[in-house]
């Protein structure tokens, strides 16, 4: 794929008469990936500034540079100066790849919790209805013919538009994607044309990045402000920020709720260890729901998915069958029966709100005399204020807690564990320097009917230690006890 530098300059509202009419054969944000003919966009980051690598990019064959105007000396290739290189990257990516989302139906899901589960439910519904659908998010790109490789919840704007382009060319019609607050704040999706936006919920998260919970909300709200009139906004009215989020958009809005009968809601809801059953009332249509997923929070995720499918006009039977066929989401309340009669439950939960929902559900569905063991930690270089809160919540529900490292990154894992146990009031915990040892201890202690909840990592296959990823898999260890 190629594009003239003149066309790219015009997309940035730059006069192109002084720019040589050269052909751009690629767009890159990382100087180490630059090849001959590429346009290099220098982006200032929190740790690394792309402007420091402009000369490296040129040496590797970059034929033009987009920068923020910082003085980098005289260059041997054209330089386009912009106020915000991140915003420019999104514009250029969409232009270079031919605005692929104009030819796709794109459904964006944002919120603190529930994005992946809701996306997986929608993916199942749409595929069941005969639509060639792709799912983008924490689980990677899930699409027939594409390699599933886990990445950021929402990739950078260049990678994202490239993926959209490939999906369009492969005749996909629908895209279900998770949209993170980081992506919204960093303009990664600024030129994605969303047909539907869904808000799940908002609880404190990423406060190491966002200055406050209000800043976090404002980042999420960008998705709804960018919706055109022909799009649809769908919000969770049960969340305190739901109705406020609905006011952020000029697009028509649909609401769902756990209890408000004026919104899309459940009727005759039954939640047990065997799943979720009930009826969803959406205006004059009643959807019969039967799902193997567990917990009230998953009932809420089902509500969100059904609301989107309802807004799209998907047939009733296709929605019901799609929900039923989505029997498990990798790393989300994923259940593994053990040889001793106990169960291991693996969940990606990594916020206090998610801990309360997951552990509350497990406590509710477990037998009275059964033990609930909880294996968890907290990520390094992330919001430290949530660590004691997670410890406090785990203590409330657990028979015993096993505090272990969980991607300490550049932080000292012992210090992270110390901050976690600062939330405990008693002594029903053990601290481990090695996550494997902690998980094995929990599994070895378990007996028939007990539950071992393993939180935080889901199906990740690494530990991020001192900025290096070392192989580690909770799932691999669990499999040995089955």
Pick the CATH number of 334-479 from 1.20.1420.30, 3.90.190.20, 3.40.1260.10, 3.40.50.11810: 3.90.190.20
Largest CA distance in the chain: 78
- The one-digit pLDDT tens for each residue of the chain (482 residues) are 899 999 999 899 877 668 888 999 999 999 999 999 999 999 998 788 999 999 999 999 999 999 998 888 899 999 999 999 999 999 999 999 999 999 999 999 999 999 999 999 999 999 999 999 999 998 999 999 998 776 666 789 999 999 999 999 999 999 999 999 999 999 999 999 999 999 999 987 776 777 799 999 999 999 999 999 999 999 999 999 999 999 999 999 999 998 878 899 999 899 887 899 999 999 999 999 999 998 899 999 999 999 999 999 999 999 999 999 998 899 999 999 999 999 999 999 999 989 999 999 999 888 889 999 999 999 999 989 999 999 999 999 999 999 999 999 999 999 999 999 999 999 999 999 999 999 999 999 999 999 999 999 999 999 999 989 999 999 999 999 99
Phi-psi region of 466 (alpha: psi -120 to 50; beta: other; left: phi over 0): left
Question: CA 58, CA 52: separation in Å to the nearest integer?
Answer: 12
Task: Give span(s): CATH 3.40.1390.10, the chain.
Answer: 3-84
Q: Are 22 and 16 in contact (CB under 8 A)?
A: no
Q: Where in the chain is the domain with CATH 3.90.190.20?
A: 334-479
User: Residues 6 or more apart from 75 whose CB is under 8 A from it?
Assistant: 54, 58, 65
The CATH superfamily assigned to 3-84 is MurE/MurF, N-terminal domain (3.40.1390.10)
* C-alpha dist (Å) from residue 225 to 195, 358, 400: 13, 32, 45
**How many Cβ atoms sit within 10 Å of the Cβ of residue 272?**
10
Distance from the Cα of residue 92 to its chain's centroid = 24
**pLDDT computed for residue 203 by the predictor:** 87
Q: Is 195 helix (H, G, I), strand (E, B) or coil?
A: coil
Tell the burial category of 174 from Cβ atoms under 10 Å away from its Cβ (0-12, 13-18, 19+).
Answer: buried
Pick from 156, 186, 158: nearest CA to 38:
158
CA distances (Å), 232 to each of 81, 167, 168, 311, in order?
A: 36, 23, 22, 8
pLDDT score of 72: 87
pLDDT in the model for residue 152: 61
Class of domain 100-325 as given by CATH:
alpha beta
Q: What is the 3-state secondary structure (H, E, C) of 54-88?
A: HHHHHHCCCCEEEECCCCCCCCCCCEEECCCHHHH
Cross-strand pairs, 253: 233
Residue from 265, 239, 263 nearest 113 by CA: 239
Question: Given the structure tokens 């404002």, which residue do they identify?
Answer: 218
Using CA atoms, how far apart are residues 241 and 98, in angstroms rounded to an integer? 36
How far apart, in whole angstroms, are the C-alpha atoms of residue 168 and residue 424? Answer: 51
| HSE, side-chain direction, 13 A CA sphere, residue 324 | 13
């Amino acid at each position: 794929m190629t594009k003239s530098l003149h066309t790219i300059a015009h997309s940035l509202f730059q006069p192109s008469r002084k720019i040589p009419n050269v052909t751009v054969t690629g767009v890159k944000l990382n100087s180490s990936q630059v090849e001959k003919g590429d346009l290099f966009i220098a982006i200032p980051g929190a740790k690394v500034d792309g402007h420091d690598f402009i000369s490296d990019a040129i040496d590797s064959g970059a034929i033009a540079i987009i920068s923020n105007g910082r003085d980098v000396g005289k260059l041997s290739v054209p330089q386009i100066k912009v106020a915000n290189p991140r915003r420019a990257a999104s514009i250029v990516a969409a232009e270079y790849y031919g605005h692929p989302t104009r030819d796709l139906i794109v459904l964006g899901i944002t919120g603190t919790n529930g994005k992946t589960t809701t996306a997986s439910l929608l993916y199942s519904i749409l595929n069941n209805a005969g639509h060639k659908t792709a799912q983008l998010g924490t689980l990677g790109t899930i699409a027939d013919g594409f390699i599933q490789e886990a990445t950021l919840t929402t990739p950078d704007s260049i990678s994202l538009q490239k993926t959209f382009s490939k999906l369009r060319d492969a005749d996909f019609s629908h895209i279900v994607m998770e949209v993170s607050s980081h992506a919204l704040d960093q303009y990664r999706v600024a030129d994605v044309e969303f047909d539907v936006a869904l808000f799940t919920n908002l609880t404190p998260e990423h406060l190491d990045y966002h200055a406050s919970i209000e800043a976090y909300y404002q980042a999420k709200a960008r998705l709804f402000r960018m919706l055109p009139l022909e799009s649809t906004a769908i919000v969770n009215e049960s969340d305190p920020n739901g109705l406020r989020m609905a006011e952020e958009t000029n697009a028509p809005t649909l609401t769902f709720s756990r209890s408000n009968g004026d919104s899309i809601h459940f009727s005759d809801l039954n939640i047990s260890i065997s799943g979720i059953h009930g009826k969803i009332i959406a205006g004059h249509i009643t959807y019969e729901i039967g799902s193997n997923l567990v917990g009230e929070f998953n009932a809420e995720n089902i509500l969100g998915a059904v609301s989107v499918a309802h807004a799209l006009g998907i047939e009733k039977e296709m929605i019901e069958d799609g929900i039923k066929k989505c029997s498990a989401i990798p790393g989300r309340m994923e259940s593994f029966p053990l040889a001793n009669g106990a169960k291991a439950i693996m969940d990606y939960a990594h916020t206090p709100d998610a801990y309360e929902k997951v552990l509350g559900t497990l406590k509710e569905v477990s037998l009275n005399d059964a033990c609930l063991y909880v294996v968890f930690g907290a990520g390094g270089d992330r919001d430290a204020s949530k660590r004691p809160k997670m410890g406090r919540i785990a203590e409330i529900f657990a028979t015993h807690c096993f505090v272990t490292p969980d991607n300490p990154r550049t932080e000292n894992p012992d210090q992270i564990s110390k901050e976690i146990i600062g939330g405990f009031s008693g002594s029903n915990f053990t601290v481990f320097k090695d996550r494997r040892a902690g998980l094995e201890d929990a599994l070895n202690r378990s007996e028939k009917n007990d539950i071992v909840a393993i939180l935080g990592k889901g199906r990740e296959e690494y530990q991020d230690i001192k900025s290096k990823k070392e192989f580690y898999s909770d799932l691999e260890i669990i499999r040995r006890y089955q």
